Amino acid sequence: MVENPRVIGHVVSVNGFRLKVELLTEARSSSRATLDGVQTAVAINAYLTFSIGSGLSVIGVITELEAHESYDPASGEEFSLELIKARRIAIVQLLGTIEKDGEKWCFNPGITILPTLDAPAEVGSPKMLSAVFETPPQKNRPENCNHDDYDFDLVLGYPTGQRNNQVKASYNDLFSRPLAIVGNTGSGKSYSVASLLQKAMKELGDDETNAPHTFILDINGEYARAFLTEEISKLPRQPNHVYLNGEEFGIPIWFLNAQEICSWLSAAEQTQEPVLKDWWAICKARNNASSSPTIDNSLRYALTKVDYLIQSLDDRNGPKKLNICTYANVMKNYIGSAVVDGVANLESELAQHRSATDRDWTPPQNEVSIRKAALRIQASLRLLISAQMQASDEISGTADTPLLISRMDLDDPTLISRSVSQEDTNRIESHLTTLKLRLKTRLDDKRWKSFLNYEKTETAFKSLEDWLKKFNFQEKKSQRVSVVDLSMLSHETLPYACGVIGRILLEARERLPAGERFHHPRVLVLEEAHNYARPARQDEDRGQELSRIAFERIAKEGRKFGLSLIVASQRPSEISPTIISQCANFLSHRLQNPDDIEHFRRIIPMQARRLLDQVTVLSAGEAIVFGSAFHIPARVQIDIPRPAPWSQTAAPYLEWKTRKVSFPVETVITNWGLKLVGEEAPTKQNAATDSPSGAEDIFS
């Protein structure tokens, strides 16, 4: 009879922070009846405690179970072998120290005193386990905060096999630093995202100051049911459209910065990128009345002619009347309406010789006056050009600024030549021709409709302010979780859309005063992030590169600006290592691919690696959770969200046996954009006589 029903064995080996516990003969069952009820005792993931005196105990988790047989010679003169009963050994990974403070237990992840040999191993009591699971660390106390209600213990679920406890995490830590939620398809990843966000928003209460806190980049169209009304979640969607909470939305093309527009048009680095960047800045400056004027190339040409005029005066063969008058006239045409000092004086001096009929001048009596006037013009032009070059530095910044560009400017590709001199245009015209062709092709490509719909009445974005307002930044009664439905975008368009949204959200917060950045924090959920946040590759698509750079920057710098990420993916090995390495917390559902498991193992804490061995046998909805928002790694059954996202796995037997309705082809054709809503499909007779304009209406 065991005196203490919690004792199940004693320590027989101490190796660093791993112990071997020899189990008592009586401790055969995986469960144990204690004064607190039946508890899990001898089983993988069971928690054991070891008293080290003075109200202190060390807690650990069983990671392995072994049984050893041994032989021992009997006493006496005759040598014989006697079979001894098998020794049953539990391998325990130590996790931290628990200290009793009055009637309350407190957990500390540090361990200063290790259990000694023969120390009894006890089943952890519910109160001690509660200190580990249900009182997570409190994080991010604001300056001058004198009360303890600054963080919240957010419930995720319960430890696998221990329904008497709950697993809680620091609310602040989960949503202030990047969080990774990974797992194979069907493992419960989408349910975890929805459950986590639903609980987080519910704890804020319901009042009239609702504002969006989280934005989901939903590339599969599955989260509308979890966060929007049922009516909105069932609205039809059209190809190449973006929807925000069920309403048509867009990402204006003029959001693209200089690097992005060059990537979008695949501009050649040496010949096309400089021209395209200048054109992009000019187009944005044209629509911004406060911008400075652009550099006037004609003044540069005028300066060149003045230089030639002065050289003619210095010609050892004497000044040529024809040359000097020609340079002066061309210079005047280039100057135009610009106010340049010395022009009137030069005209007056040259007028004294207009009656001369000879083509060559002997040095005229007023040569000194002509030279002085030319030098004044030269100095004045240099000052004007210098001033405009300083102003152009400000304009070059507008290429990266989200300023409106009208469709008229985009539809006129000849404007690209504005930033190039006439002489240079003739030289590189062949290079500009291909660039103009790509621009026209992009503008005609229906896949980029969501980037070009900013002049439509329903989605009018005339400024960044208009876009942010439609993005619900200033709404007081909006969805706390906003769903950006990107599921109807093409594979090529998706990275640009996601990357631009992420970059704009970060840059908007960067422009807040330093003391206000931590106000109004927001979270961006990257659903199926492996589609647009991949590791860098030599043959990387330009859109993928831009998207990866944007989210790597958010992962590294977003914390200080109040913008965090939730990265959800089936393939952690296909996520940028920079992004994954910045994640402070992890929820790992079932993973089967060895590359994913090995990649994940290299970036997680040492104490969670043994637990990660179970990642291949997790059931749907189970996850291994670890990170700074938790005291210890744990295997958790995540609570089911209500309502759940559109992520249910099909039941072929039931569907094939009971559903007698044919496949809804008409719905597919309508949603594909091949037939207008409410319009009959064309018959064979009238399909052949449809005009091209009619076809354009159907496919628009």
Q: What's residue 425's pLDDT? A: 59
**Is residue 252 classed exposed, middle or buried when 0-12, 13-18 and 19+ CB atoms within 10 A define those classes?**
buried
Residue 533: closest CA among 284, 219, 190, 135: 219
Structure tokens at 296: 């006037």
Q: Which CATH superfamily is domain 168-252+454-638 in?
A: P-loop containing nucleotide triphosphate hydrolases (3.40.50.300)
301-319 b/e with 16+ CB inside 10 Å = b?
Answer: bbbebbeebbebbeeeeeb
Q: What's residue 395's pLDDT? A: 47
Whether the upstream peptide bond of residue 236 has omega within 30° of 0, thus cis, is no
Residue 73 pairs with which residues in a beta bridge? 81
Q: What's residue 589's pLDDT? A: 92
Q: What's residue 662's pLDDT? A: 79
Residues 6+ apart with CB under 8 A from 535: 548, 574, 575, 576, 577
**CB-CB contact of 286 with 449 (8 Å):** no
Q: What's residue 421's pLDDT? A: 56
Q: What's residue 125's pLDDT? A: 83
Residues 6+ apart with CB under 8 A from 204: 480
**Is residue 265 classed exposed, middle or buried when 0-12, 13-18 and 19+ CB atoms within 10 A define those classes?**
buried
Residue 208 pairs with which residues in a beta bridge? none
- AA identity, residue 325: C
**CB-CB contact of 240 with 446 (8 Å):** yes
Residue 366: closest CA among 344, 341, 345: 345
The whole-angstrom separation of Cα 563 and Cα 555 is: 9
Helix (H) or strand (E) holding 524: strand 522-526
Q: What's residue 596's pLDDT? A: 83
Parse the chain into domains and list their residue ranges: 7-133, 168-252+454-638, 260-288+403-444, 297-396, 664-699
Q: What's residue 149's pLDDT? A: 83
Q: What's residue 293's pLDDT? A: 45
pLDDT tens digits, one per residue of 243-281: 999 889 999 999 999 899 999 998 888 778 888 888 888
The whole-angstrom separation of Cα 201 and Cα 208 is: 14
478-499 b/e with 16+ CB inside 10 Å = b?
Answer: bbbbbbbbbbbbeeebbbbbbb
Residues 6+ apart with CB under 8 A from 419: 275, 278, 279, 281, 282
Q: What's residue 364's pLDDT? A: 64
Structure tokens at 675: 């037939």
Q: What's residue 688's pLDDT? A: 41
Structure tokens at 425: 């245009």
Q: Mark the ranges of the chain whose per-residue pLDDT is less than 70.
A: 1-3, 69-85, 206-211, 286-297, 316-322, 353-365, 389-398, 413-428, 472-478, 605-608, 675-700
Structure tokens at 194: 């929805």
Q: What's residue 1's pLDDT? A: 42
Q: What's residue 477's pLDDT? A: 63
